[in-house]
Amino acid sequence: MREHHGEVAVPQKEPKSTSTQTSSKLWIWISLGLILIVAGTCFLARDYWIASISPASEVEIDIAAGSQNAAPPSEQVTLTAQAQKNLGLTSKPLKADTFWKTITVPGMVIDRPGFSDRGIVAPVTGIVSRIHRVAGENVKPGTALFTLKLLSESIHLTQSELFKATQDIKLAQSQRQRLVAAAGAVAEARVIEVENQITRLEVGAKAYRQELLNRGLPPAQIQGVTEGNFISEITIVVPERTTQSAPANGPTGTDFEIQELKVELGQQVQAGQTMCLLSNHQMLSIEGRAFRDESACLERTVKERWPVEVDFSEENIPDWPVIQQNFQVSYIANNIDPDSRTFRFLLPLDNQSRVVANGDKSQTLWRFRPGQRVRLMVRTDAINNVFILPTDAVARDGAEAYVFRQNGDVFDRKPVRVVFQDRRNIVIANDGSVPPGIFVVQLGASQLNRMIKSQDISMPKGFHIHADGSVHMGNH
């Protein structure tokens, strides 16, 4: 230390070299890099060292590795006989046919005029003294319905005139015999006069007989009137069915059912008053209602003699036989109803019946009854060479449609092309995707399709499931 002009000189430290500082920083960065590499390696190899630590406690299922060798999605399902019964599966062979597009119009079952119903009227004025049958009973022609006590003065007068004319005829005939016996003593003109009188009396008697017949008196009772047995009561019976209205088929074709009684016991009725209604629903009609723009379809149906399909909306009716009638349009109205803006058309309907006995009485039950609502399918266009199946026979999956072929207990899924579908049927193209003759399930296709889809559950690539049920994604 030296002094210079009164100042003290302080000794200075020498700085470290630049090369030494650079080496220290480099070692720090290398250490940090090694730490990061080791940490990354441990993270990426975590599955290996975790499994090596506890190999017996956890078993890994690697779907990603197995998915590389996985089989393609299944197109069939196997069902036991019990499972098929639970689903109600039925199969039928495919058959190419013609499908008709139709329009649906409402309809109703009605009585056929002149064939179904018949009214029984009182032939004379009288009092109902007895009712032999009640509503709902079956009656045959000739069966007694009512007994009337006569109040008509005209019928009493007619009986009197018939009896008088009959007696006058007997007197005139006796007189003629005496004149003929006294031939030569009596002028011939006198004999002719008596014969003319007999002719006039016979004509009058015939007229009286006919009037009594028209009033409903049977010939046997009328013959009794000529002998002085006057009638105070008459019996009204079931009339005979005419040849036109009597159907040729059915065990009860000539029977009537008393549909409704119009009188009561002790009631006075006038000549021509309706006493009851008889019905026979063997021959009915179906009345359809169509709009004006649908008339062309009906006209073509009549011209081509196409049958009309009738949906009676009947379900679970195994007791009745199959309907085999071919429904044809028999009449198209030329006027339009101003309220509904529709016109009517008719189709004949032959009914089905069965008799239910209850002791000594019986009742006829009819399958179709007036007032029953129906749907009528009128044809418009035809689609040829296609397969027609119920709607439940085809399963939809997005844009795809499938049917199921049955081969024993195995059901194969077959893709098809849908040509047309309505409320009841679905039409499949006959394009070779399914050949004719194979047995195809008629219902339950949607359930079978869900079963097949449940068999094809798979995980995306890279996912795997552990034994504890947890799902992880890893790189392998």
The 3-state secondary structure of 92-130 reads EECCEEEEEEEEEEEEEEEECCCCCEEEEECCCCEEEEE
**DSSP class per residue in 347-370:** EEEE--EEEEEETTEEEEEESS-T
* Gap between the Cα atoms of 446 and 193, Å rounded: 102
The answer for residues whose C-beta is within 8 angstroms of residue 260's C-beta and 6 or more apart is 135, 276, 277
In 200-320 the beta strands, taken as DSSP E runs, fall at 233-237, 256-261, 268-269, 274-279, 283-291, 309-311
In this predicted model, what pLDDT tens digit does every residue of 220-241 receive, in sequence order?
888 888 888 888 888 899 988 7
In this predicted model, what pLDDT tens digit does every residue of 319-351 receive, in sequence order?
788 888 999 999 999 999 999 999 999 999 999
In this predicted model, what pLDDT tens digit does every residue of 256-283 receive, in sequence order?
889 899 999 999 999 889 999 998 899 9
Domains of the chain: 74-116+282-315+324-457 (2.40.30.170), 121-279 (no CATH)
* Gap between the Cα atoms of 372 and 355, Å rounded: 20
Q: Are 351 and 366 in contact (CB under 8 A)?
A: yes
* Gap between the Cα atoms of 15 and 305, Å rounded: 122
In this predicted model, what pLDDT tens digit does every residue of 284-300 receive, in sequence order?
999 999 999 999 999 99
* Gap between the Cα atoms of 186 and 197, Å rounded: 17
What is the pTM assigned to this prediction? 0.63
On average, the pLDDT of the chain sits at 81
